[in-house]
């Protein structure tokens, strides 16, 4: 079953961000574009490479009006300990959400019950709180922040220009398509 256009459930979780703990709720997400970036666990192998990649692109996500929420089933205390211990994780300025009760992982359907961790899932959520794009990878395959940013920008473009679509490898400013009978079988 597809999660496209699924509205995310109400939630309230603890977060570690900028050397402080605070709560993040669904109300904080509404009204802006968001990426929920699920990863299996803190203090692991592939996860810090992905989170550092996102940290290096964070200013570009912010410039696009998009917040990143990194999510694992660890507690906010573990997020802080990892931040204190890892040079890669110290680069992170975006919120690291704690999901020890698995409410987010279950709502986004990435929870692996047998292991108590989340799959490696990326979800783009529009300002109305609905999932408009997502991808779930095997735990041993890392993701690319450049491609995720491109997808956010494409989702934003089609939300603003409902009669146009973005072709493969589309970048902001590039040509889009207007679906019509004339294009069928021509591309």
CATH of residue 30's domain is 3.40.30.10
Confirm whether 167 is domain-assigned.
no
High-pLDDT (> 90) share of the chain, % = 88
- What is the rounded average pLDDT of the residues 145-154? 98
**pLDDT classification of 187: cutoffs 50, 70, 90:** low
- What is the rounded average pLDDT of the residues 97-122? 97
On average, the pLDDT of the chain sits at 95
Confirm whether 55 is domain-assigned.
yes
- What is the rounded average pLDDT of the residues 116-135? 98
Confirm whether 64 is domain-assigned.
yes
Confirm whether 137 is domain-assigned.
yes
Confirm whether 185 is domain-assigned.
no
Confirm whether 161 is domain-assigned.
no
Concatenated DSSP letters of the chain: ---TTPBPPP-EEEEEETTEEEEEEHHHHTTSEEEEEE-S-SS-SHHHHHHHHHHHHHHHHHHTTEEEEEEESS-HHHHHHHHHH-HHHHT--S-EEE-TT-HHHHHTT-EETTTTEE-EEEEEE-TTSBEEEEEEE-TT----HHHHHHHHHHHHHHHH-TT-B--TT--TTS--B---GGGTTT-
Select which of 15, 47, 73, 166 is catalytic: 47
The confidence score (pLDDT) of residue 1 equals 82
Global confidence as pTM: 0.95
Confirm whether 14 is domain-assigned.
yes
Domain tally for the chain?
1
The confidence score (pLDDT) of residue 167 equals 86
Q: Find the domain containing 51 and state its range.
A: 4-142
More confidently predicted of 125 and 163: 125
Q: Is 166 a catalytic residue?
A: no
- What is the rounded average pLDDT of the residues 53-71? 98
Confirm whether 164 is domain-assigned.
no
């Amino acid at each position: 079953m597809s999660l496209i256009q699924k509205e995310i459930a109400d939630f309230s979780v603890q977060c570690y961000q900028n050397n402080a703990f605070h709560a993040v709720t669904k109300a904080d997400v509404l009204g802006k574009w968001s990426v929920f970036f699920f990863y299996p666990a803190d203090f692991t192998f592939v996860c810090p490479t992905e989170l550092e990649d996102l940290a290096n692109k964070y200013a570009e996500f912010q410039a696009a009006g998009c917040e990143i929420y990194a999510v694992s089933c660890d507690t906010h205390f573990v997020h802080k300990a990892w931040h204190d211990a890892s040079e890669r994780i110290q680069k992170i300025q975006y919120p690291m959400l704690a999901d020890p009760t698995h409410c987010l992982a279950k709502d986004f359907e990435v929870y692996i019950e047998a292991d108590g961790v989340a799959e490696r899932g990326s979800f783009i959520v529009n300002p109305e709180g609905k999932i408009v794009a997502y991808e779930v990878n095997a735990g041993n395959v890392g993701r690319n922040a450049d491609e995720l940013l491109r997808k956010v920008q494409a989702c934003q473009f089609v939300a603003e220009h409902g009669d146009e679509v973005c072709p493969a490898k589309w970048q902001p400013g590039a040509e889009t398509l207007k679906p019509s009978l004339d294009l069928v079988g021509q591309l």
